């Protein structure tokens, strides 16, 4: 039995992970020893293997869109390989079910994809440790791989009881949750304001297509995502946040530096200048295939010199060229600025990225952590919108409504202006959102007399969302009651199992 863990998030730190992998290993071996698991899958000398991938929220949203046609961030996704139902194989194992790696025979049973960012929120919500939440999600998913489901109440009960049984057996019973909370909450370990050796802003500059988004994706572990942060948001220009135990790097966008020709040139250059001004370090990304700096690169260099900022040259797409061909590039670029360092990277292949991060970090001053550690990537406008709605709920209901209330964005549709130059040029954003509460009485508070309360919440939230998106917003709010919502609502919902809503 073997578990392969691929951590693409760089944020699920060892501290937080605890004994994640060994717990999951225990869980899998326990599961395989259960009499409800088909003995046939243990036959032969193959080692049963499961791949676990940890990804960012945008990555899991993409997977959901691709495989389940749901535009949602979920906590876990399971991709079974074998055809199983309630632990029983539905068809005989075939030779192609096995794989051989270095002479060893494996039986891969499926892939598990977990989103630690989401898990972190759930752990807080349920009041247990991140470790338990992560292991819980993995165990849940392992059961899916073995053909268990929660399509109907009976299946659900079966699956959940097995899940709890395993959690208890491996030493993470429900009762252990509370005790773990205080010790293991990552927030306690890394409070905002904690002074780090290196913390600050990094402006990432480069022509379109040079690979900036790819790099940010690689850094924030959202390989499937496109980081498209829109300007004029509340968190103006923040594209990604990279956390380490003793460092935090906030990547900011320098909009418009690539568009000096347009009518807006001055304004744009101005705004990129402002972004760079606030940065502690500038990274100029060049394309390794073009040895001569052009206008964009010259401007970036000039800007760094004018602002007296350290500038690092990242030569991207190093995978597409030979090492020798980088020499003339380096010589040419060295003439336009005094680079702190020149780092060849492949944003795509994740080569040299760690080295680049080290150079960036080394140039950041010691400062208090600016953002909570769980804010690992840019929040999308969608997520911020949900937060803004929640904020108004808490504001207007004076905490009569417990924190268990959730806001889900059901649809976030952008309409572009007729003469839109790019996807930022929106004329309207239509948002449909659900406020989910646990009780009918909460629902009546939220609605208020003649719907006055929900109207107030909606208006205030809409105004804030408009400020954040710099765009007219249409906001449609619905209040839904889900009685068992705290009790793993997320699961049931995310897996397409909808409880009757009142």
Which residues are at the interface with Mg ion (CB under 5 A)?
A: 213
List all residues 6 or more positions away from 22 whose beta carbon is below 8 Å from its beta carbon: none
Name residues contacting ligand GDP, limited to 324-353 (CB under 6 A). 346-348
Residue 317 binding result from Mg ion, ligand GDP, none, given CB thresholds of 5 to 8 Å by partner type: ligand GDP
Q: Are the CB atoms for 161 and 100 separated by under 8 Å?
A: no
- Quickly count: other Cβ atoms within 10 Å of residue 21's Cβ: 16
Least gap, CB of 279 to Mg ion (angstroms): 18
Q: Distance between CA 136 and CA 128 in Å, rounded?
A: 11
Q: Which is nearer to ligand GDP, 119 or 284 (CB)?
A: 284
- Among the candidate windows 25-33, 71-79, 114-122, 314-322, which touches ligand GDP by CB under 6 A? 314-322
CB of 262 to ligand GDP, least distance (A): 17
Query: CA-CA distances (angstroms) from residue 36 to 39, 40, 146?
Result: 9, 11, 10
**Strand 47-54 versus strand 99-101 pairing type:** unpaired
The residue from 163, 271, 272, 316 that contacts ligand GDP (CB under 6 A) is: 316
Could you tell me if 164 and 487 are in contact, meaning their C-beta atoms sit under 8 angstroms apart? no
Minimum CB separation of residue 33 from Mg ion in Å reads: 49
Of 71-79, 162-170, 313-321, 435-443, the window that binds ligand GDP (rule: CB under 6 A) is 313-321
Please report how the helices 265-277 and 295-307 are oriented relative to each other, as an axis angle in degrees rounded to 10: 50
Residue 84: exposure state from Cβ atoms within 10 A (0-12, 13-18, ≥19): buried
Coil, helix or strand for 402? Answer: coil
Q: What's the CA gap between 446 and 255, in Å, rounded?
A: 40
56 binds, among ligand GDP, Mg ion, none (CB under 5 to 8 A by kind): none
Nearer to ligand GDP, 10 or 317 (CB): 317
Please, what is the minimum distance in Å from the beta carbon of residue 300 to ligand GDP? Answer: 13
Nearer to ligand GDP, 154 or 323 (CB): 323
If one asks whether residue 298 binds ligand GDP (CB under 6 A), the answer comes out as: no
Chosen from Mg ion, ligand GDP, none, partner binding at 47 (C-beta under 5 to 8 Å by type): none
If you compute the radius of gyration of the chain from its CA atoms, what whole number of angstroms results?
25
Site string for ligand GDP, 189-228 (x = CB under 6 A): -----------------x-xxxxxxx--------------
The one of Mg ion, ligand GDP, none whose footprint includes residue 78, by CB under 5 to 8 A per kind, is: none
Distance CA 339, CA 291 (A): 16
We find the least distance from the C-beta atom of residue 214 to ligand GDP, in angstroms, to be 3
Return the residue nearest ligand GDP (CB atom).
Answer: 211
Residue closer to ligand GDP, measured from CB, 49 or 237: 237
- Closest approach, Cβ 212 to Mg ion, in A, equals 5
- Hey, what are 359's tokens? 């150079």
Q: Which does 254 bind (CB under 5 to 8 A by kind): Mg ion, ligand GDP, none?
A: none
Distance CA 140, CA 191 (A): 31
Taking Cα atoms as reference points, which of 377, 315, 322 lies closest to residue 345? 315
Q: Which is nearer to ligand GDP, 346 or 377 (CB)?
A: 346
| Contacted entry of Mg ion, ligand GDP, none for residue 103, CB cut-off 5 to 8 Å set by kind | none
Distance, CA of 340 to chain centre: 31
Taking the complex as a whole, the smallest distance from the CB of residue 255 to ligand GDP amounts, in Å, to 12
Write down the least CB distance from residue 349 to Mg ion, Å. Answer: 18
- Which entry of ligand GDP, Mg ion, none binds 444, CB below 5 to 8 A by partner kind? none
* Smallest separation (angstroms) from ligand GDP to the CB of 450: 49
Closer to ligand GDP by CB, 49 or 346: give it. 346
Residue 447 CB, nearest approach to ligand GDP (Å): 44
Residue 332 C-beta-side C-alpha neighbours within 13 Å: 16
Compare residues 213 and 377 and give the one whose CB is closer to Mg ion.
213
- 116-126 helix and 57-68 helix, angle to the nearest 10 degrees: 100
Residues 13-42 that bind ligand GDP (CB under 6 A): none
Minimum CB distance to ligand GDP, residue 351 (Å): 8
Residue 214 binds which entry of Mg ion, ligand GDP, none, with Cβ cut-offs from 5 to 8 Å by kind? Answer: ligand GDP
Q: How long is the chain?
A: 502
346 makes contact, choosing from ligand GDP, Mg ion, none, with CB < 5 to 8 Å by partner type, with ligand GDP
> Nearest Cα to 408, choosing from 387, 379, 439, 429?
387
CA–CA separation, 72 and 355 (whole Å): 33
Q: How far is the CB of 287 from ligand GDP (least distance, A)?
A: 8
Checking DSSP bridges between strand 406-416 and strand 367-368, what pairing results, if any? unpaired
Kindly report each contact of residues 353-362 with a partner whose C-beta sits within 8 Å and lies 24 or more positions away, as own/partner.
Answer: 353/215, 353/218, 353/219, 356/283, 356/312, 356/314, 357/219, 357/242, 357/249, 359/312, 360/202, 360/249, 360/281, 360/283, 360/312, 361/198, 361/244, 361/247, 361/249, 362/198
| Main-chain dihedrals φ then ψ at residue 289, nearest 5 degrees | -85, -15
Q: Residue 229 or 369: which CB sits closer to Mg ion?
A: 229
Q: Residue numbers of the site for ligand GDP (CB under 6 A)?
A: 206, 208-214, 316-317, 319-320, 346-348
């Amino acid at each position: 039995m073997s578990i392969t863990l691929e951590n693409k998030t760089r944020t699920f730190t060892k501290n937080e992970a605890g004994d994640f992998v060994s717990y999951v290993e225990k869980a899998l071996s326990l599961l395989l020893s259960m009499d409800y698991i088909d003995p046939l899958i243990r036959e032969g000398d193959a080692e049963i293997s499961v791949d676990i991938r940890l990804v960012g929220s945008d990555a899991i949203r993409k997977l959901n869109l691709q495989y389940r046609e749901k535009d949602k961030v979920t906590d876990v996704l399971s991709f079974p390989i074998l055809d199983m139902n309630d632990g029983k194989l539905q068809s005989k194992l075939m030779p192609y079910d096995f794989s051989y790696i270095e002479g060893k025979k494996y039986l891969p049973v499926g892939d598990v994809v977990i989103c630690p960012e989401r898990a972190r929120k759930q752990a807080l919500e349920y009041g247990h440790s991140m470790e338990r939440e992560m292991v819980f999600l993995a165990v849940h998913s392992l059961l899916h791989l073995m053909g268990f489901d929660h399509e109907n109440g009976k299946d659900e009960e079966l699956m959940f009881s097995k899940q709890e049984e395993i959690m208890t057996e491996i030493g993470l019973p429900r009762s252990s949750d509370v005790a773990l909370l205080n010790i293991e909450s990552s927030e306690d370990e890394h409070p905002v304001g904690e002074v780090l050796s290196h913390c600050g802003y990094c402006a990432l500059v480069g022509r379109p297509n040079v690979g900036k988004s790819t790099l940010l994706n690689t850094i924030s572990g959202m390989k499937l995502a496109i980081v498209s942060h829109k300007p004029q948001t509340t968190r103006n220009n923040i594209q990604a946040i990279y956390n380490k135990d003793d460092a935090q790097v906030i990547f900011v966008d320098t909009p418009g530096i690539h568009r000096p020709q347009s009518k807006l040139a001055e304004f744009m250059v101005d705004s990129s200048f402002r972004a760079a001004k606030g940065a502690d370090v500038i990274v100029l990304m060049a394309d390794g295939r073009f040895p001569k700096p052009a206008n964009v690169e010259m401007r970036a260099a000039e800007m760094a010199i004018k602002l007296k900022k350290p500038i690092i040259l990242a030569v991207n797409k190093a995978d597409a060229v030979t090492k020798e061909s980088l020499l003339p590039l380096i010589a040419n670029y060295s003439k336009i600025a005094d680079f702190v360092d020149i780092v060849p990277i492949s944003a795509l292949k994740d080569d040299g990225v760690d080295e680049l991060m080290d150079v960036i970090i080394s140039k950041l001053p010691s400062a208090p952590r600016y953002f909570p550690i769980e804010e690992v990537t840019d929040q999308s406008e969608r997520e911020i919108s949900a937060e803004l709605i929640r904020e108004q709920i808490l504001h207007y209901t004076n905490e009569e409504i417990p924190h268990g209330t959730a806001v889900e964005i059901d649809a976030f549709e952008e309409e572009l202006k007729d003469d839109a130059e790019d996807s930022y040029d929106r004329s309207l954003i239509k948002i449909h959102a659900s406020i989910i509460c646990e009780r009918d009485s909460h629902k009546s508070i939220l609605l208020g007399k003649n719907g006055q309360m929900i109207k107030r919440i909606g208006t205030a939230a809409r105004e804030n969302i408009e400020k954040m998106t710099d765009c007219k917003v249409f906001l449609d709010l619905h209040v839904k009651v889900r009685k068992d919502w705290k009790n793993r609502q997320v699961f049931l919902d995310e897996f397409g199992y909808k409880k009757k809503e009142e």
